[in-house]
Each structure stands twice: as C-alpha cells, then as structure tokens.
Chain A
Amino acid sequence: MSDVDFDTVLEKYEPAIGLEVHVELNTATKMFCGCANEFGSEPNTNTCPVCLGLPGSLPSINGRAVESAIRLGLALNCDIAQWCRMARKNYFYPDMTKNFQTSQYDEPIAFDGWVELDVDGETYRVEIERAHMEEDAGKSVHAGTSGRIHDASYSLMDYNRAGVPLIEIVTRPITGAGEKAPAVARAYVAHLRELVKALDISDARMEQGSLRCDANVSIAPLGAAGLGTRTETKNVNSLRSVERAVRYEIVRQAEVLESGQPVVQETRHFHESTGTTSSGRPKSDADDYRYFAEPDLLPIAPSREWVEELRATLPEPPAQRRARLQTDWGFSDIDFLGIVSAGALGLVEETVAAGATPATARKWWVSELSRRANESGVELDELAITPAQVAAVQALVDQGIVNDKLARQVIDGVLAGEGEPAEVVERRGLVVVSDTGALSAAVDEAIAANPGVADKIRDGKVQAAGALIGQVMKAMKGQADAAKVRELILEKLAG
C-alpha cells in the first residue's frame, strides 16, 4: 500500500462490514436429489437428471438439510419462519444447467438473529439479517494457455457440486468496530466455523470451499449519517484472508476517496499471494435475477413443536462452553485466552479427552503446533495431526520413551505423514537411551573433554552438571535420558 496507512484512515473514516458466508452442509445427499454429496469424487459421477437440470425432472427437498438450516438458525438466535418457500434465482451461466439456482428470496427459513464475539477481551454483537437455504453450483476448469479465466478458449464443467445443500448467512452492516473491524470480521467467520462444526452440520473446511466468505466493505467519514458505497470481495477463503481483505479494502477505499474519486460499487477478487483485491465486474442490470417462487416445490412450514425439538438438540452455546472449560481445566484468564485466540479450544478439549492433561495439551497446541501452522500458513486444525495423536505423543513422553525434544521430532514425523506417533518413534529410532552401558561411554567422554567443569562438580558445585548433560545430549543427538545422565555424572564425579 502506498502512502495511506490503516491507523491514519481510521482517524478520518468509519468502516462498515457486511459478511455473507456460505456453508455447505454435510448431508449424505444433495439438496433436491438423491445424488451423493461428496467432495473429491471423479468428475460427473454424482449427477442425475435433477441436478443436471434435464427436462421433465422434478426436485424433492432433503428433509435433513431443512433440519440443519433450522438448527443453525436457532444457534444464531434467529426467528424461524412459520411458512416459507424456495425461489428461482434466474441467471445464465454454465455452472447451473437449469439456468436458475434454487434458493430463497424474501422468505428465508431463519431471520433476525445475533451472535456475540469476543475480540481481544471486548464483546462485539453482530446482527444476523437472515440465513437461507439454497444449492451450490457446479465447478469449472478453465482450459487455456495461462490457466487464467480471461485467456481460456473454453471451460470444462463438473456437476458433482451442483445441488449440494448450502446455507447462506447474511449479517447486517457491522459498524462501530473501528480499527477492530478486520479482527471482528475474522472472529465472526471463526465463530460460524466453530458453530457449524459443533452442530455437526458441515465440515466447514475453508480450503475445500465448504465454508466460503464474501466480504462487503464500505467506509464513511466519521460522524456521517449512513453508509458509504460498498464493494463486495468474493470468495475470501481463509480466516487470515478475511482479516487481510477487509483491512486492504478499508485502506484502498480511503485512498480512492482521498484522491477525490468515488468508490465504485463492484465485486472484487481477493489475491492470497499479495493480500490485495482487484476489480471484478460492476453491479449492473445483469443482477436482475427475476426471482419467483419455485413452482416445483411445496412450501416449508416448520411446526413449533418441530422447532422446539430441534432447539433441544443444540450444543452448549460457545460462551457457556468456554466458561465451563476454563473452570474444568483451571487455567488463568491469560492462559485460557491464549488457547481461544489460537483457535485451539476444540483441539485442546479433544486432546484432553484422549488422555492428555490440560496443561500438556495446551503446551503442544498453543506453542509448538501454532508456530508450525503459522509457518505453513494454514489453520491449526488443518495440520495433519489429530488431537488423539498429540495425546499419544504426550503419552510417549510420560512413559519416558521420548523426551520433549524427541517428541518434537515425533510430531515432525506425524506431520510428514510417517504414520502414528509410535510408528514414527520406531522408524526414526527416536527412543530415549537410558541404558547405563550406552550412556556411560558418552558421559566419560564429556568429563574428559571438560576437565574444568568436572573439577567444579567434584568440589560440590552440582549445578555445573548441566553443562555436561548438554554435551552428552548433543553427542547422543538428544536421545539420552537426561535424568539418567545426570545421575551417572554425579556418580562418576562423587568426591
């Protein structure tokens, strides 16, 4: 970014953010047909006349998807419609063979909700305008020399994803967050991800596109009535990108306004590599989708009894869960906040359930694994290690089979796909050596190489043994049992 920086912008402008999040449901079948809802199948193996939009085919609503939508609506503190319909959103694009997407228009299944977010110890309330049901579109592969869409000479379509159930959750404009606006946007998407996982209605894997975010951003001079012209940045597909895209747009729009130009209402594309957005298409007449009620599907009218039954299946609300876990684990506020901000709450919980103590589970996830996730630019829960595996690594430490240093190598091995922790120990030969015979020679060498240190220990300065232990560990590539080495050194140098 050139001469305008984020903090300067916020001295003059107030940002407003609106987020549209699409969640793919983890139902067994698609929204309107019995084709499997599966990620990564061979192209066009999960299609039928309904999801291919063949003439004469008739859709039928997946009851489980409706149930998921109601449960999510309730978890977002929404009202649930007593009666609503699906609608046709008409557009011509090869990702939808029917030339319309079956969605909901002015009768969403859930509306008027809210969530509360905790950002750096402050609470922000985000209002939910609506959550509605719709279907996903097919996936295109663009053939062309550069792989960029505008150079493509033709496109290839795979309709496995066409008709997969989606819920779109739309917020009202989030204002008043000021400099925290990018962090609030991120926290909101993180909250939704945690929520749909807790509800077990979606895998919520942003890297696979089962949770996708479009970010609307506008800025207005401080104290101005109303909102500025907004842009919509499409498909911002990681938590980090949500924060970066919002921040970038705030600064970019300020630069545009400062140069005396108006902000153009348009869709924009986010570029992961540079953290920037670029102009997409302007909003135009083509956005007239001519919605109308879907004549092939009957209305959905959830009875109050059904809604209350579903309400009873909701998981513990996030704030309550956090309070309970902090008490159970006995962490200070600062230690617990570390777990929450690292996005490790569920992971630590599962690791504890798999047998580790809260303190060791926290140590691995918050310090060691968070660092690795940051280095590889992925979310913590996307690392190729499970809570059960982390608990198994800690168990190896507790049994004295490996020490902390070797445990890190075990984690390297698991992350590199070398198998379960015990297999990595075996393959890499990482077992701690506590056999006196093997250690004795290394201890003798260390003593011979450091006569000064040895003399100090002979004179009773037991703490000097640390230097020799270090030498032995180094010689044995970290695989020595430190306690045993210390014992041997003191034994050999006993006055």
Chain B
Amino acid sequence: MAVTPEDIARLAGLARIQLSEQECRDLAPEIDVILESMAKVGEVAGDDVALTTHAVPRTNVFRADEVRPSLTPEQALSGAPAAEDNRFRVPAILSED
C-alpha cells in the first residue's frame, strides 16, 4: 500500500514535527521506498530465521535491585528552562489523565 502525503501529515502531527504540504508530498514516496525495501528483506527471511530485534543475541540482561546515588535536585533541574519549589515548571497541563 502506497504511503500518501496525508499519512505523512498525520504521522508528523502525532510526532509533533512541523512539515509543510510540500515536504509531506516529497517524503511520501521516499518513505514508501524504505518500507518496500524492508518488506523485501522480510521476503528473504524464511521460517528458519528467528526474529532479530537487536544486534546482540542476548536475553535476560538484568540489573541488581540496589540503590545507586541520584542527582541532587539542583543537578536535576540545572537543564530545566524553568523551575519552582525544586520542581520543573512546565506549560499548564490542559487535560486531566
């Protein structure tokens, strides 16, 4: 199924990326080519090829449940555009969830 400029516009909206109509038109065929190429790879892999999700063929890599030092609030907030009462100050949250 071909990717349409409308698909691109919708995805851009979901990802909060501002794209012009021209950019959506340009990107649609480019993304289409990428998806087609990926589909080709899928055709080549037979049932005997396990699903690959990582370059490293390992599982169950866990951390021990031991506390490590955290940042101080000052360090944590040092990159924040705005802070108040040791909290990050953000634009008002409009919908309650």
Contact = CB atoms under 8 A, between A and B. Distances in A.
Contacts of B61: 60-61, 298
A158 B92 contact: no
A46 B73 CA distance: 8
A29 interface: yes
A45 B70 CA distance: 7
Interface stretch (A141-149, A188-196, A217-225): A141-149
B54 interface: yes
Given A47-B76, A93-B97, A298-B56, A156 B88 contact: yes
B18 interface: no
* Residue with the highest number of chain A CB atoms closer than 10 Å, among B58, B62, B64, B84: B62
A85 B53 CA distance: 9
Interface string A143-172: 110000110111111110000000000000
B37 interface: no
Interface string A10-51: 000000000000000001110001111000001111111100
Interface residues of A, number: 61
Given A35-B68, A48-B71, A155 B96 contact: no
Interface string A267-294: 1010000000000110001101010010
A47 B71 contact: yes
A140 B53 contact: no
Given A42-B73, A43-B85, A94 B90 contact: yes
B14 A288 contact: yes
Contact of B67 (A36, A65, A90, A267): A36
A419 B88 CA distance: 39
Interface stretch (A247-255, A299-307, A334-342, A389-397): A299-307
Contact of B65 (A44, A48, A63, A234): A63
A64 interface: yes
B59 A300 contact: yes
Contact of A152 (B60, B72, B93): B93
Given A28-B65, A44-B77, A62-B63, A156 B85 contact: yes
Given A43-B73, A93-B93, A94-B93, A159 B65 contact: no
A295 B56 CA distance: 11
A33 B91 CA distance: 27
Nearest to B56: A298
Interface in B10-39: 10-11, 14-16
Contact of A301 (B15, B60, B84, B85): B60
Nearest to A63: B62
A156 B63 contact: no
B66 interface: yes
Contacts of B66: 28-29, 34
10 contacts: A44-B76, A47-B70, A60-B63, A90-B14, A94-B91, A143-B84, A155-B91, A157-B90, A285-B10, A290-B15
In order of increasing CB-CB distance, the 5 nearest A-B pairs are A34-B68, A63-B62, A64-B65, A156-B87, A301-B59
Interface of A: 27-29, 33-36, 42-49, 52, 54, 60-66, 83, 85, 90, 92-94, 140-144, 149-150, 152-159, 234, 267, 269, 280-281, 285-286, 288, 290, 293, 295, 298-302
Interface of B: 10-11, 14-16, 53-54, 56, 58-68, 70-73, 76-77, 79, 84-97
